[in-house]
Structure 1
Amino acid sequence: MKQEQAKEILKQLIRINTVNPPGNETDVAKELKALFERHGIETELVEYDENRANLIARLKGSEAGPVLGLTGHMDVVPPGEIEWTYDPFGAEESEGKIYGRGACDMKSGLAACVLAMIALKEQGLPEKGELVLLATVGEEAGAVGARQLTQEGYADQLDALVVAEPTRNRIKIAHKGALWPQIVTYGKTAHGSMPDKGTNAVMHMNEVLHRLLGGDFTFSYEEDELLGGPTFSVNVISGGSNTNVVPDQCTANIDIRTVPSQDHKQIIGQIEQIIESAKGRYPDLRAEIKILNDQNPVKTPADDPFVRLVQEVVKEADGAEELGGMTGYTDSAQFALAKKDFPIIVLGPGDTTVAHQPDEYVEIDEYYASIRLYQEIAKKFLAD
């Protein structure tokens, strides 16, 4: 397939609005399904919800052999309130870049996986083994599509997996976990002029957060050579209905990014202890913890044979072979829960510093390079 065709396919995917919520990923899945079928590649839609379907594509050799997975998600985050220079869904091209929501995160990586498969098909490859694409829904809100596919056994056959998230085509072998607890405090309404008749949920939340942020809450962990240490931030607080009403509920959403030495259940237990300690000041404090997102950290050993294979491919392409880690999570957090262990690397076009930002873009040459990288990785892996 010529480069101009590859570019137009990416632009078409960007023009399809898959903002999550609600997602509408089926529109992309059907677009890709039709493209695969025109090239004689087997596909399957796996429905998640209304107008939300994962897509599986399979390219099989004539002989049995290893199975390599490629994966990318079809949903994108909202454009945001800040005005863009370019149309977020226009896929406009300027000075070697394509702009649009999802251009970087991660429709360019997804399109590159698709086009690598088509290129291999045109070359009569693979001769043995199988190349599988898992295009997922809902990565941006809890990796729900990857969770579904893993639970239904679609990852159990894999011997290795490439996650096409943006890394500027540099190899990442680890990413942090994400634990998002929501603390909810419950009180009792009363007239604002008679606060003693009510129970103030906001004041109770203030006490809990004061203890969490004031040093009572500490992480137990070992520094990771690629990921560093964990992070903790309170990013959403909501409580109260009016100035003259004592609030009966308050919520606080917390974003915790973890490293492999940590245990999420232990962290939740620590937060429960903090809440219990806050009752020393407010005996009538009532609270609960809801888990909005729970993704484990993922790390593949640097000396894994698949990592070394990918290093060889990337080094041959542009001389780079360094290994790194990511602060954000990917669908691999769910795929790593498959019944058998397999190495996972993250490698794809795009710079994460422009992901989720106004005027998100991908460099076109980087996109083309990723198509070639995926082809070469598949050739080497499936030749073993």
Structure 2
Amino acid sequence: MATVDTAVLRDRIERKREDLVELLTELIEQQSVTGHETPAQEVVASRLDSLGLEVDAWVPDADGLRDHPGFFETSSYAERGYENRPNVAATREGVGDGRSLTLSGHVDVVPVDEDEWSYDPWDATVEDGRLYGRGSNDMLGGVASILVAVEALDELDVELVGDLTVQTTIEEEDGGPGGVLSALERGYQPDAAIIAEPSGLPNIGMASAGVMYFRVTVPGRSAHAALGYAGVNAIGKATKLYRALDELDRERKSRLSYEPAVRQNPNLDGHETNLNVGVIDGGDWPSTVPSKVVLEGRIGWPPGETREEVRMEVEAAVRDVAENDEWLSEHSPEFEWFGWNAAPHELDTDEEIVRIARENAETITGGTTTFGGGSAGNDERFYNRYYDIPCPSVGPRGDNIHGADEHVEIDSLVETAQTLALTAVDWCGTAD
């Protein structure tokens, strides 16, 4: 095989820095909150089409995925379905039968509270080497880096022996089965994959957390507040359940640990698992004893427990309160799991694709790689858990993911594109 001049390839990507910033700016402007991914996908498809690639855009088939162990109905699917929410993929075909690689990223972002922002979240702002905007770091920045990496390979006429697929997907922020899982089931099953989630280059992500949502409906009995003795306040009963869940959270934190999560973020020490009641909905009038309260929560945990084990603990905490309460023992709370239903995963860091990505990341950044992950759910689990396809996270540095003033370091976007391009060359091979 002929060798590629890595200095030339890195320099070509560096020269595309301004284009990378403009592309990321355009993606942010599409306001691609989960459920409304189409405008961002149109931007991606246009860039892929300009490379002369055949673009495959398809809408997920929930019925066809339903029997897969990684599938669940996401909140956005329940609200909007998958109509007009395409995934996009295009393959740069290799000139031989070398190993194939997919570079993947999600285009959906989370909503914003604009009052919290110092910048316009939908109009990228560049300041002190950072680019601010919703999705700049999670993970439209990674998507832009993927596209620029592939464009640089094309501009230099680098012929890869193996196929290189660019793939952008929907609803990762909501769990991802309509995205990466749909792509895998469509046949996009490479020898290895990389998702450009913001791992904090040269750091590489190698694990994800299990994540599940639950809902508890707590019954009471309505009455006029002046005749409160005739009612049962559902808020008061829900408070008992909240305290029990909070106690379970503290108990789990005391006995569960996961070193990769702490390596990635030292502040996670003692917080590798988390149980959060995020929604409390109950009551409709100050003078009425509320007859119903709904609690909705999320539990996340690192590799080491199954979903079944975690479900049993949460359900037992609610059941124990009900059995020891005079009212709830006769009027049982309704418990259900909904939305997010993701199992955790852990990738062996000795995998060759991880080694290659690490070597390139360290060479390009001059830093030392730390392997981290396990504190949040992500799409890598679909490759690693269900298809035995090694897939790390390799992406830029930034901060305030899902928060106000989310930003990404522009230098790291360039370094990510360089790392991805060189890793594609090393993995897929180049032709004589």
Equivalent pair of 1:176/1:328 in contact (CA under 8 Å): yes
Provide the C-alpha distance between the structure 1 equivalents of 2:123 and 2:161, rounded to a whole number of angstroms: 40
Equivalent pair of 2:347/2:384 in contact (CA under 8 Å): no
Q: Which residue of 2 aligns with 1:11?
A: 25
Q: Which residue of 2 aligns with 1:166?
A: 198
Q: CA deviation at 1:148?
A: 4.7
Provide the C-alpha distance between the structure 2 equivalents of 1:176 and 1:194, rounded to a whole number of angstroms: 48
Larger displacement relative to structure 2 (176-185 or 9-18): 176-185
Equivalent pair of 2:102/2:190 in contact (CA under 8 Å): yes
2:220 matches 1:176? no
Larger displacement relative to structure 2 (291-300 or 328-337): 328-337
Q: CA deviation at 1:159?
A: 1.8
SS in 1 for 2:408: strand
2:312 matches 1:280? no
Q: CA deviation at 1:324?
A: 2.2
2:380 matches 1:332? yes
Q: Which residue of 1 aligns with 2:273?
A: 230
Q: Which residue of 2 aligns with 1:137?
A: 170
Which structure shows the bigger proportion of residues in helix conformation? 2
Change (3 A) 1:222 1:302: farther
Q: CA deviation at 1:173?
A: 1.2
2:358 matches 1:315? no
Q: CA deviation at 1:164?
A: 0.8
- Letter of the aligned partner of 1:334 in structure 2? F
Q: CA deviation at 1:379?
A: 0.5
TM-score (norm 1): 0.90
2:389 matches 1:342? yes
Change (3 A) 1:102 1:95: same
2:99 matches 1:66? yes
Change (3 A) 1:163 1:10: same
2:124 matches 1:91? yes
Q: Deviations 1:150-179 (Å, cap 9, x if unpaired)?
A: 563444x22222111112212121222222
Q: CA deviation at 1:7?
A: 2.2
Equivalent pair of 1:45/1:54 in contact (CA under 8 Å): yes
Equivalent pair of 2:175/2:377 in contact (CA under 8 Å): no
SS in 2 for 1:110: helix
2:259 matches 1:245? no
Provide the C-alpha distance between the structure 2 equivalents of 1:7 and 1:216, rounded to a whole number of angstroms: 42
Equivalent pair of 2:98/2:163 in contact (CA under 8 Å): yes
Out of 7, 31, 39, the position equivalent to 1:27 is 39
- Letter of the aligned partner of 1:185 in structure 2? V
Provide the C-alpha distance between the structure 2 equivalents of 1:215 and 1:63, rounded to a whole number of angstroms: 55
SS in 1 for 2:33: coil
Q: CA deviation at 1:26?
A: 1.1
Q: CA deviation at 1:93?
A: 2.2
Q: CA deviation at 1:237?
A: 1.8
Provide the C-alpha distance between the structure 2 equivalents of 1:150 and 1:188, rounded to a whole number of angstroms: 48
Provide the C-alpha distance between the structure 2 equivalents of 1:275 and 1:66, rounded to a whole number of angstroms: 50
Out of 405, 413, 422, the position equivalent to 1:359 is 405
Q: CA deviation at 1:12?
A: 1.1
Provide the C-alpha distance between the structure 2 equivalents of 1:167 and 1:216, rounded to a whole number of angstroms: 27
Which structure shows the bigger proportion of residues in strand conformation? 1
Change (3 A) 1:266 1:116: same
- Letter of the aligned partner of 1:178 in structure 2? V
Q: Deviations 1:110-169 (Å, cap 9, x if unpaired)?
A: 0111111222223334432111122111112222433551563444x2222211111221
Equivalent pair of 1:59/1:126 in contact (CA under 8 Å): no
Equivalent pair of 1:68/1:132 in contact (CA under 8 Å): yes
Q: Which residue of 2 aligns with 1:76?
A: 109
Provide the C-alpha distance between the structure 1 equivalents of 2:403 and 2:17, rounded to a whole number of angstroms: 27
Change (3 A) 1:81 1:119: closer
TM-score (norm 2): 0.81
Provide the C-alpha distance between the structure 2 equivalents of 1:62 and 1:184, rounded to a whole number of angstroms: 58
- Letter of the aligned partner of 2:353 in structure 1? F
SS in 1 for 2:260: coil
Q: CA deviation at 1:40?
A: 0.9
Q: Which residue of 1 aligns with 2:311?
A: 268
Out of 370, 377, 382, the position equivalent to 2:416 is 370
Change (3 A) 1:355 1:132: same
Q: CA deviation at 1:380?
A: 0.6
Change (3 A) 1:132 1:182: same
Change (3 A) 1:12 1:215: closer
Change (3 A) 1:81 1:36: closer
Provide the C-alpha distance between the structure 2 equivalents of 1:133 and 1:188, rounded to a whole number of angstroms: 56
2:70 matches 1:38? no
Q: CA deviation at 1:258?
A: 0.8
Long gaps (5+) in structure 2:
1-11, 61-81, 263-271
Out of 61, 65, 90, the position equivalent to 1:57 is 90
Q: CA deviation at 1:334?
A: 3.4
Q: CA deviation at 1:56?
A: 1.0
Q: Which residue of 2 aligns with 1:119?
A: 152
Change (3 A) 1:309 1:216: closer
Long gaps (5+) in structure 1:
none
SS in 1 for 2:357: helix
SS in 1 for 2:138: helix
SS in 1 for 2:146: helix
SS in 1 for 2:59: strand
Change (3 A) 1:216 1:362: closer
Q: CA deviation at 1:216?
A: 9.5
Equivalent pair of 1:177/1:333 in contact (CA under 8 Å): no
2:297 matches 1:254? yes
Equivalent pair of 2:212/2:337 in contact (CA under 8 Å): no
Residues paired across the two proteins, number? 379
Provide the C-alpha distance between the structure 2 equivalents of 1:12 and 1:175, rounded to a whole number of angstroms: 29
Larger displacement relative to structure 2 (201-210 or 160-169): 201-210
